[in-house]
Chains A and B, each alone.
Chain A
Amino acid sequence: MALPESRNSFSVQQMIQQKKQKKNKLIQTEKIVPFILLLTAIVSVLTTVGIVVTLLAETFTFFNHVSIKEFFTAQKWYPFSETQGSFGILPLISGTLKVAFIAAIVAVPIGIASAVFLSEYATDRTRRIIKPILEVLAGIPTIVYGFFALTFVTPILRDLIPSLEIFNALSPGIVIGIMITPMIASLSEDAMTSVPKSMREGAYALGATKLEVAIKIVIPAAVSGIIASIVLAVSRAIGETMIVAVAGGSTPNLSWDVTGSIQTMTAYIVQVSQGDAGYGTTIYYSIYAVGFTLFIFTLMMNLLAQFISKRFREEY
């Protein structure tokens, strides 16, 4: 068939035909691959299922030892006593919320102000320098922040407030605030930059100042994104562990005081994990009950953030 004088003594189509046998193998791959990929995708679902099942199962065991009523209403979290142990989660929740609240007071104004600066005032060059630095700040391991809280922020605060104890809610609260600031700043900035230019131009053309544009046009238009960023950041603060474990102390108490030692839900789990509470004891199961409560808290806030940004998404 091949003509000797021809320059191209072969036919690509024919060769493709000959390679067809190989094709069968190929077709099998085509069928197997999506299945394998689906299995990898299932892993993330299994993780969620694993978390929920684990927490639920061990929490149920915990409620065999301790009544649900006690868990939710008792005013004291005092698990390490053999005889008069008390498992009321309220003190741990109050410790968690105190810290999260302080963090929000620090992070919300600074975060939003930075977002406004970056999206409305800063030049492109400034933005290109500052945003990576914020990313670095967000990427610092939390144990480093914990170290910073204990060895730097607490001593300074104690100079200012002499009654402050070594372990307190204030110092870790402030440092968590610093930690979540980049999150609020960058998510809010995203929301603000997605406000269309035409809306700003309309106001500028009437002689508005940048501040007026930011406050009357940009922030109202981006408000759902800003609120969602705050909710997410507070959720991070609630789940934060190492900073409070290092600088918060281990004295659960139900009060408004921020100068004394506290314990958060996360710090309690750390305390038990480091101790020698044996497998199968009430204390062992209690970390799952506390973990489950924590999980519900953060899940609610994440769903709330998703709901806000979806429900109130502005259609430009």
Chain B
Amino acid sequence: MNTTMVKLNNQQNQTAANAESQRKEAVYHTKDLNLWYGTNHALKNINLEINEKEVTAIIGPSGCGKSTYIKTLNRMIELVPDVKTSGEIKYRGRNILQKGYGVEELRTKVGMVFQKPNPFPKSIFENVAYGPKIHGIKDKKILNQIVEKSLKGAAIWDEVKDRLNENAFGLSGGQQQRLCIARCLAIEPDVILMDEPTSALDPISTLKVEELVQELKKEYSIIIVTHNMQQAARISDKTAFFLNGEVIEYSETDQIFSNPADQRTEDYITGRFG
């Protein structure tokens, strides 16, 4: 990502990094976020700060609001009818819940990978080229480069380079999920949201995706919802524990798994419920 924008950020970061190496800039700043499905209060007073170029894991039992939260970060939650929110989420300093904030613009910067692999019923090439195309990039040469780079970035290039024009449904589940990651990389997002990306995959495919996440965090900020605590422990830098729509605990992953501050967190990670 050799963009002026990023370079500027890097310069700012350098000074910050010199001062205090573990302090990074926040991409998301959530303040007093509340969310209701109709009358169901699904998220209660969420306050979280998520840093860039890190993997932030969100864990918690089913129905705790972790998926709801991640979908609020790119406002996909609005596809559910009857959703109301209050509070604010600042992405790079601007409140995305504000009226007039363009969702399309937000989602161009914030990519998403879903629970089940959801490639389009098109060719592998067209799947990856979809994002650039809808944003008006039509030059075939540039598209070719984007597709190659994205597939390489998602560590699937070698497996599919000879059959880019075949239907994406011919791929295995794990390959489909990496293709979806490549599709997401194609618009060079700033943040990648992952909503239980390995829950539908076999262990080997899961391992590949986990390795990929480690690789991707060098360039992208990643927020991952997971059901699997070992996964959170393996790949994340920070972990947030959600319960009944509240953030119970949020700190360094090592901290949360070795020495949780809250009794409920300890109960959850030691498997007493959930």
The answer to the question of A144 belonging to the interface, with a C-beta cut-off of 8 Å to chain B, is: no
Contact present for A22 and B2 (CB under 8 Å): no
| Chain B proximity mask over A1-42: 1 for CB below 8 Å, otherwise 0 | 111001111111111100100110000000000000000000
Instruction: Report the minimum CB–CB distance from B112 to chain A (whole Å).
Output: 16
Query: Across the interface, which residues of A come within 8 angstroms of B4, CB to CB?
Result: 1
User: Which residue of B3, B108, B188 is within 8 Å of A1 (Cβ)?
Assistant: B3
Query: Across the interface, which residues of A come within 8 angstroms of B76, CB to CB?
Result: none
Chain A residues within 8 Å of chain B by Cβ, number:
17
Measured CB to CB, the nearest residue on chain A to B3 is A11
Interface stretch, picked from B67-75, B84-92, B132-140, is B132-140
Contact present for B135 and A11 (CB under 8 Å): no
Query: Across the interface, which residues of A come within 8 angstroms of B186, CB to CB?
Result: 12
Alpha-carbon distance A246/B186, docked complex (angstroms): 66
Contact present for B2 and A6 (CB under 8 Å): yes
Instruction: Report the minimum CB–CB distance from B128 to chain A (whole Å).
Output: 11
Query: Across the interface, which residues of B come within 8 angstroms of A19, CB to CB?
Result: 135-137
Query: Across the interface, which residues of A come within 8 angstroms of B142, CB to CB?
Result: 10, 15
Query: Across the interface, which residues of B come within 8 angstroms of A1, CB to CB?
Result: 2-4
Please report whether the interface of chain A is mostly helix, strand, loop or mixed according to DSSP. loop
Given A1-B3, A1-B4, A2-B2, also A12-B136 (CB < 8 A): no
Chain B residues within 8 Å of chain A by Cβ, number:
19
Query: Across the interface, which residues of A come within 8 angstroms of B3, CB to CB?
Result: 1, 11, 13-14
Contact present for A11 and B137 (CB under 8 Å): no
Query: Across the interface, which residues of A come within 8 angstroms of B116, CB to CB?
Result: none
Q: Which of B116-154 contact A (CB under 8 A)?
A: 132, 135-137, 142, 145-146, 149
The answer to the question of B187 belonging to the interface, with a C-beta cut-off of 8 Å to chain A, is: yes
Query: Across the interface, which residues of B come within 8 angstroms of A14, CB to CB?
Result: 3, 5
Alpha-carbon distance A12/B136, docked complex (angstroms): 11
> Chain A residues in contact with chain B, CB under 8 A?
1-3, 6-16, 19, 22-23
Known: A10-B142, A11-B1. 12 other contacts (CB 8 A): A2-B2, A3-B2, A7-B149, A8-B2, A8-B149, A9-B2, A11-B2, A12-B132, A13-B108, A13-B187, A16-B108, A16-B136
> Chain B residues in contact with chain A, CB under 8 A?
1-5, 108-109, 132, 135-137, 142, 145-146, 149, 186-188, 190
List 9 A-B pairs, Cβ < 8 Å.
Answer: A2-B2, A9-B2, A12-B146, A15-B132, A15-B137, A15-B142, A16-B135, A19-B135, A22-B136
